[in-house]
Structures are given as structure tokens and as C-alpha cells.
Structure 1
């Protein structure tokens, strides 16, 4: 069970880090990066207009995913123990699974996002949710 938790933590850390880099890179890529990731014309247009909202949201999500990367690395034993490790991993898993399942309710609120965005991001959230929960349960 501990080996499964360690492997799940390592895989979660890898995906968390990749998602963090993608979100933080959008701050520098601008509208083109957001379009590439399927975020939609509304958000891309805000970036082109110089609005503060898209970079702030990208930075916040990227920062949170970076923090989760550290927790997943801690769960894998690659970083020292972090406070509340098991509850944080379990909460992250629950939130990611909820996000994956909430597509029918979220899509109408973000109509500019492409179908590709919803499919890819929901699949990633599902994987992250399962990995974080497996990491938490195996601790």
C-alpha cells in the first residue's frame, strides 16, 4: 500500500508541476497561450486589452498547483514532511474529482472555453483526483 501511495504521489507531483508550469506560462504567452490551452476568446480578449484578471487567475492557479506539487513530493518522500500532508492530499483529490464531475454545471458559466479544454482539463482533473486520493489513503 505504501508503494502505491509513493508512486501515486510521484505521478501527482509530475502532473501538478506540468499544470502549474502551463498556467504560469500563460502569463508570458498571453492571449496566444490561453487560446492554445482552450481557455476561450473572452479570456484571451481580456489579456489583449491589458486586463489584470487573466494573469492574476493564472498566477493564483499556478501557485496553488506548485504548492500541491510540494505536498505530492512530500508524500513521495522526496521532500521533508509538510504539515497536514494527508488531509491536504485528500482535500486536493476531492476538489480535483469534484471539478472533473462538475463539467455540466461549469460549462454554461464559461461558454467561451472549447470542448477540447473541457475534455482535456476534466481528464487531467480526474487523474489528479485519483492520484491525490491514492496518495492520501496509502499514508
Structure 2
């Protein structure tokens, strides 16, 4: 794998790991942290009232981001090769690039479509930054998917 792709995957993995840690910190930071980082108003209220959905949401997102980090680190050769590495990197790339590319147009034209995901009614610096970050990370995962060695299972029998 080219050195540039390896470094890019390392940075994408680091960004995902920081995101996972941040979501765990939000859980401990309380309702003000949920609100500051753009959680939907309903989720902030759940955090205020002690509803378990709020911390579960943070832990699910943190787990997802940790999985993204693991795939980036695996593609970069930092940790052992994970199953379906090329497929995983490609799928993650597609999700991140779509999230980055579609979030801003959805907020502009159909903000209600995202009301369950964020408390975003208009495009602001946070939305622009997170969208750009998702696209940048997605490009790294895409490069990793293309550059990842294709390791096919060995046949059980010799040539027939």
C-alpha cells in the first residue's frame, strides 16, 4: 500500500477514534454537552431526565466510530487484518462520503428529514466542518479500499 494511503488511513482512524472518545465524554459531560455537540432537543431532554436512551445513543455511536477506527488502522497495517477489509473500507467510504455530501443540501431543502439525527435547522460552522471531515475521511477509506491487497480464500482442493 502506498505510504500516502497508509498515512491517510491512519489520520482517518485517528479522527474516528477521537470521535468515539468524544461521544463517551459527552455521556459523562451531561445534557449541556449533548446540546453543545448538536444532539436533537429530544435527546437532550432525555439526558436531563435520566432516560437511558441518551447514554445508549452515545455508546452506540462511540462503538460505531471505534469500529471505523479499527478498520482504518487495519488497512494501515497498525493492527491485524480484519475480516472483509476491502469491503469494509469501501462501505465505510461510501457512508462517510454520502453523509458529507448530502447533509448540507438536506438541511437547506428538507431540514425536517434530519430532525431525528441532529438539532440542525440551518447550515452553520459545525455542520460544514463535520461534513467536510466526513468527506475527507471517506476519501481516505476509499483510497484504502482501492489499495488494500485482495486476499482471497485459498481453494480447498488443488486444480481439477
How large is the Cα RMSD of the aligned pairs?
1.9
TM-score (norm 1): 0.88
Kindly indicate whether the alpha-carbon contact (under 8 Å) linking 1:38 and 1:116 is maintained by their aligned counterparts in 2: no
1:46-98 Cα offsets, whole Å, 9 max, x none, are: 21012222211111111011111111111111111111111101100100011
2:140 corresponds to which of 109, 131, 135: 131
Specify the alignment match of 2:127 in structure 1. 118
Partner Cα separation in structure 2 for residue 136 and residue 4 of structure 1 = 13
Partner SS for 1:102? helix
Task: Give the TM-score of the pair, scaled to structure 2.
Answer: 0.78
* Higher helix fraction (1 or 2): 1
Alpha-carbon deviation of 1:40?
Answer: 4.3
2:2 match: 2
> Is the CA contact (8 Å cut-off) linking 1:4 and 1:135 kept in structure 2?
no
Equivalents in 1 of 2:138, 2:24: separation in Å?
Answer: 21
**Higher RCO, 1 or 2 (CA under 8 Å, sep at least 6)?**
1
Q: How many residues of Structure 1 are paired with residues of Structure 2 in the alignment?
A: 139
Secondary structure, counterpart of 1:39 in structure 2:
coil
- Aligned-pair distance for 1:38? 2.4
Residue 105 of structure 1 corresponds to which residue in structure 2? 106
Which range moves more in the overlay, 43-52 or 97-106? 97-106
Bigger radius of gyration: 2
Q: 2 CA distance for matches of 1:31 and 1:120?
A: 22
